[in-house]
A and B are shown apart, each in its own frame.
Chain A
């Protein structure tokens, strides 16, 4: 079974440029998460989808970040414009449940963003 796929694996951009990250979850997983991981820190949730609905986006900085999961499968996270402080690893995860506390989340390898 294929795991969570993310692309690109690495991205280097100039500040104020836009950037997008793509995630394809494990087949059949209806819950999808985007996390931000700063260097030396644990991941922090940005947004959670159940199917195509964003059920928790309270931690997403909506002035510059946006996300979509139009058909309830793959998802895109966008930053426009990027700032220096956005340099981090962006992780995608998926789970087969409905976001209950006992669900196991499966993580992709992440996209490492560097903003110059």
Chain B
């Protein structure tokens, strides 16, 4: 079945450090891939997405590239800020069957950025 595996947290970084959060997936079809972010006390927000292989999603300095050959969608940011402290979720949405369009999430990775 479809699944998403994220690196476990928590991840603690100093401000301006480089961030990578690994995400790999298993899917029967050609999924779309998403990163959602959940700030403390708030709901999930879409951070970025990619809908086909080699697409790069980007937003707010974050980037992720859809790598079909490695079934990965790693999240990166060159210089994190304290305001980036949140929980980050990788998710996929497959194209086949009755579950088309349903999001399957990883367990989430908590990021804490220290000043």
Closest B residue to A58 using CB positions: B98
- Number of A positions contacting B (CB below 8 A): 32
Interface set, chain B 31-83, CB cutoff 8 A to A: 31-32, 34, 36, 42-46, 49, 51
Work out how many contacts link A and B, with CB atoms closer than 8 A: 74
The answer for the CA separation of A104 and B48 in the assembled complex, in Å, is 10
CB distance from A41 to the nearest CB of B (A): 6
A98 to B53, CA, bound (A): 22
Whether A42 contacts B98 by the Cβ 8 Å rule is no
State in angstroms the CA–CA spacing of A102 and B102 once bound together: 10
What's the interface size class on B, roughly? 20 to 34
Least Cβ distance of B41 to chain A in Å? 8
Given the known A-B contacts A104-B46, A108-B43, are A44 and B101 also in contact in the complex, defined by CB atoms under 8 Å? no
Task: Tell whether, in the assembled complex, residue A42 and residue B31 are in contact, meaning their CB atoms are under 8 Å apart.
Answer: no
B residues near A101, Cβ cutoff 8 Å? 30-32, 51, 93-95, 100-101
Q: Are A103 and B105 in contact (CB under 8 A)?
A: no
Instruction: Decide if B32 touches A42 in the complex (CB within 8 Å).
Output: no
Contact B46 A48 (CB under 8 A): no
Question: In the assembly, what is the distance between CA of A42 and CA of B105, in Å?
Answer: 5
Neighbouring A residues of B89 by C-beta, 8 Å: 42-43
> Among A42, A99, A107, which residue has its beta carbon within 8 angstroms of that of B101?
A99
Chain B residues with CB under 8 Å of A65's CB are: none
Residues of A close to B108: CB separation below 8 A: 40-42
Q: B21 to chain A: which residues have CB within 8 Å?
A: none
Query: Is A55 in the interface zone, CB < 8 Å from B?
Result: yes
Asked whether, in the complex, the Cβ of B100 is within 8 Å of the Cβ of A107, the reply is no
Q: 8 Å CB contacts to B: which residues of A40-80?
A: 40-45, 48, 55-56, 58
Contacts A91-B43, A100-B101, A105-B103 known; list 14 others, CB within 8 Å. A35-B103, A43-B105, A45-B104, A48-B101, A56-B98, A56-B99, A100-B100, A101-B100, A102-B49, A102-B93, A104-B46, A104-B49, A107-B36, A110-B43
